[in-house]
Amino acid sequence: MKITPIRKWFAATVLSLSVAPAVSAETFVFTAIPDQDETKLVERFSGVADYLSEELDMDVRYIPVKSYAAAVSAFRNNQVQLAWFGGLSGVQARRLVPGSEAIAQGEEDQAFQTYFIANTATGIEPADELSELEDELRGKTFTFGSKGSTSGRLMPEFYIRDTFGQGPDEVFSRVGFSGNHTRTLRLVEAGTYQVGALNFQVWEKELENGNVDTSAVEVIWETPPYPDYQWTIRGDVNERFGDGFKEKVTQALLEMDDPELLESFPRSSFVPASNDDYEPIRETAENIGILD
């Protein structure tokens, strides 16, 4: 198999993250949960790194990770000082690093949604209420995204338990975790799983780009809105990078207005966020036993 430059760079940076205990104080490092295709993430966040380097007038580096748990661990261990987390991974990271703060979220992240999708061979028709689909869903195969995903696991599991009074393993004949939203779409589209749950933004973007076979897969239910993705920063960055640094990073993120960069998320803009915005996520995670 031919090794592309991107793959070489990706392998090298992941390796450096796993073996390097620290980075120089002159370099500001961030990561992001791997919720989509690797190549798309590298392209998006390399652009963010370039933007922040210019705005902060310093070296800024993006380091990709292989899992949601790895993103949280890198933040906890101070291998990165900033991260693009989902709602749940952000809550987990801030619990582990006292003083860390959610500082910005996408305009769309204030009212995020999960889409339940089904392979059209199942014959399941879209419904306004999940309860209307109970007979059709029971006994089907079902895939979540990552185990640490808010939109791909936490919220869909909550609504399954709340609606059917049972856990996913009792409702479905087989339950899987695809690892990311793009893979969930492909698995359900191919019929590997009959039903799945994914981030509505990924569905809409893939649909817009003509990457969804609508004869093979369709949306059958949409969750109510909830808060999701956000930028979270460690509370000790001012000590490391100088007074007012956290405010500079926050301002840079909120003022990001390059259409191409925003479209890569995709988000229309970034708006202020706080830890309190994600209390509903924390409460939901504790309710279904994901957080102690």
DSSP string covering 222-261: EPPPB---EEEE-TTHHHHH-TTHHHHHHHHHHT---HHH
In the numeric block, which tokens belong to residue 49? 């790194």
Average pLDDT over residues 202-226: 96
24/78 Cα distance (integer angstroms): 11
Q: Which domains does the chain have, with CATH numbers?
A: 5-109+227-287 (3.40.190.10), 113-222 (3.40.190.10)
Do 220 and 133 contact (CB within 8 A), yes or no? yes
Average pLDDT over residues 17-21: 42
pLDDT at 84 over 70: yes
pLDDT value of position 38? 86
Helix (H) or strand (E) holding 85: strand 82-85
pLDDT value of position 12? 41
260/200 Cα distance (integer angstroms): 20
Q: How confident is the model at residue 37 (pLDDT cuts 50, 70, 90)?
A: confident
- Residue 262 CB contacts under 8 Å (≥ 6 apart), including other chains: 256, 268, 269
Do 71 and 89 contact (CB within 8 A), yes or no? yes
Average pLDDT over residues 107-134: 97
What pLDDT digit, counting tens, does each position of 169-200 carry? Answer: 999 999 999 999 999 999 999 999 999 999 99
Average pLDDT over residues 27-53: 94
